[in-house]
Structure 1
């Protein structure tokens, strides 16, 4: 933390970014770092080559997110890159040339699969979220400077990340420190009711039509594995974007006797995204790793290319059964 703090203090130009398929911890941690760097009068650019899920757009109303092309066209040299919540160098959602040309790559992350790919790394797999790591970093800055650097905007962003990555404080990655962090963020003005309403209480009608169709695909295997499938036809028929379907994942896992939930999502004709969630004992990151994916013990993901949905399901289920 000290090395990262010192380097931030010395630098002038920064990019903040994260992984593909943005989620709450992705956006919350990146945005909190963006706001903090802005408070230091640094030149900061939020760069991400992906769209934001509809339920997280409220965080970014006043933020300009640049594409890689837009940033490259600015012709900025000697910049530093901070990658947040990205467990793999290849999942950083910007053009590779931006990564390669950065003066220093700083990695802040909590994925167990992270191999410390940065020049400076603050990687703590045991923490609830990357937002908790950013909170720890800012808290240390508070202590060093004897001043409060977490304002309401930062607190709200961090609260969003920790709430979503812990499943509203219900997952096994929720620790006493997580509740302490949430308490402090409440004291600092985090708009908690707004976060819950926007993230969980504003799904469009079409989302529930899609959810109904998705639940009709539910298949239970050996009473321990549940599979739900989303096809492109289902998404198009209900006019729901691929990026707005993560909320369906828990429905796979939250069934009596089921240990592993598998959500299979057809992103295109040759690309299938699979989300894995476990309840008690299966380390789904090991399953994901077999298919060049990654993640956490209880939550992981992978991508299968150039296979039918049926074959993709068979492959992942067969691997998962080894751990049941």
Structure 2
């Protein structure tokens, strides 16, 4: 896909529709990449387009690590839904593949114009303008679509955390602390650091565990089950166990990654019953042993080749697990 000039598209959209307000959204239970993408654009517009009012919205369910940065923000407090009643506005959606997973969906539905910036292969193609480029992080796409001169201006005009800091946050979190970085990402990281980003300070957002959290995580991992000659490992937690052990989705979300990163595991996944018969599942692989985006397509899920999710309604999670493992076996036979 060709590169995307955000400033041209944004300026034309605002002027064509005669708008003066922008709402910026991410996905449900936002992570570092969603927060970094949303907040970097909010600060970029705030500094370089002061004629527009900007409202980023992340919700209170923002992950603990990136929240460390956002609570230090001097300009925005994006945890409450903005009151823009009676206003015509443009909505910008970042790091969100499907309408089902969007935070603040009603803002998108009532917007006069919409711009979508994403990096998921499973993006539905929604929005008036949709720029989806498959990459390691949506924040990486944000970096490449912005004017370097205007981004530097935004970084220099505001204290930490500014637009450059937030882009760095998004890249850092969606690449596992740069573990999955490529040459282009390292170039972006170097450019951002030249703008004043403090790598060590933002690295601290990756480390937000407490001893109690580690105890709980160890208990969850103790319930992991192996499959397919030990190459796959998974954890299933129903509502009864969740209530007894006080397990939140944030507690279990990282488990699929921890399993995948084990030297003897190729695919890690979790199944979490967030409501009665409503299962939220997270899948992680290296993208080579199995493409988890393709794995989950028949079930209505998706994401990236190495990280994908699924929300599924069923009263028989064991059957769902069996169907997924059967599909893994089928895909492996065709490789």
TM over 0.5: yes
Whole-angstrom distance in 2 between the partners of 1:256 and 1:219: 16
Question: 1:250 and 1:308, CA in 2 relative to 1: closer, same or farther beyond 3 A?
Answer: same
Residues 193-244 of structure 1 show CA distances to partners (whole Å, capped at 9, x for unaligned) of: 22222322x2122211121111111211122211123444555455453234
Decide which of 103, 106, 131 is 1:93's aligned counterpart: 103
Report how far residue 27 of structure 1 moved: 0.6
Decide which of 91, 111, 120 is 1:81's aligned counterpart: 91
**Which residue is equivalent to 1:115?**
124
Residues 237-280 of structure 1 show CA distances to partners (whole Å, capped at 9, x for unaligned) of: 55453234332222221233432111222222222111111122
Q: TM-score, normalised by structure 2?
A: 0.85
Question: 1:146 and 1:265, CA in 2 relative to 1: closer, same or farther beyond 3 A?
Answer: closer
Which segment drifts farther, 78-87 or 185-194? 185-194
Residues 45-95 of structure 1 show CA distances to partners (whole Å, capped at 9, x for unaligned) of: 123455112222112213322555x53xx4132100000001112321114
Question: 1:110 and 1:67, CA in 2 relative to 1: closer, same or farther beyond 3 A?
Answer: same
Whole-angstrom distance in 2 between the partners of 1:185 and 1:266: 40
Q: Which runs of 5+ in 2 are unaligned?
A: none
RMSD of aligned alpha carbons: 2.3
Which segment drifts farther, 44-53 or 283-292? 44-53
Please show how residues 1-324 of structure 1 align to structure 2 within 5 Å.
1-2=4-5, 3-7=8-12, 10=15, 11-39=19-47, 40-41=49-50, 42-49=52-59, 51-61=61-71, 62=73, 63-65=76-78, 67-68=80-81, 71=83, 74-96=84-106, 98-125=107-134, 127-138=135-146, 141-143=147-149, 148-151=153-156, 152=160, 153-171=162-180, 174-200=181-207, 202-222=208-228, 223-233=230-240, 235-237=242-244, 239-279=246-286, 280-324=288-332
Report how far residue 282 of structure 1 moved: 1.2
| 1:107 partner SS | strand
| 2:235 partner SS | strand
Question: 1:169 and 1:261, CA in 2 relative to 1: closer, same or farther beyond 3 A?
Answer: same
User: How many pairs are equivalent?
Assistant: 313
Q: Which runs of 5+ in 1 are unaligned?
A: none
Give yes or no for contact 1:252–1:263 (8 Å, CA) kept in 2. Answer: no
Residues 80-113 of structure 1 show CA distances to partners (whole Å, capped at 9, x for unaligned) of: 00000011123211143x2222111100001111
Which segment drifts farther, 101-110 or 215-224? 215-224
Whole-angstrom distance in 1 between the partners of 2:67 and 2:117: 23
Report how far residue 322 of structure 1 moved: 1.9
Whole-angstrom distance in 2 between the partners of 1:261 and 1:299: 10
Runs of 4+ off more than 4 Å: 231-240
| 1:245 partner SS | helix
Whole-angstrom distance in 2 between the partners of 1:164 and 1:147: 22
| 2:130 partner SS | strand
Whole-angstrom distance in 2 between the partners of 1:276 and 1:133: 23
Whole-angstrom distance in 1 between the partners of 2:14 and 2:198: 29
Give yes or no for contact 2:177–2:206 (8 Å, CA) kept in 1. Answer: no
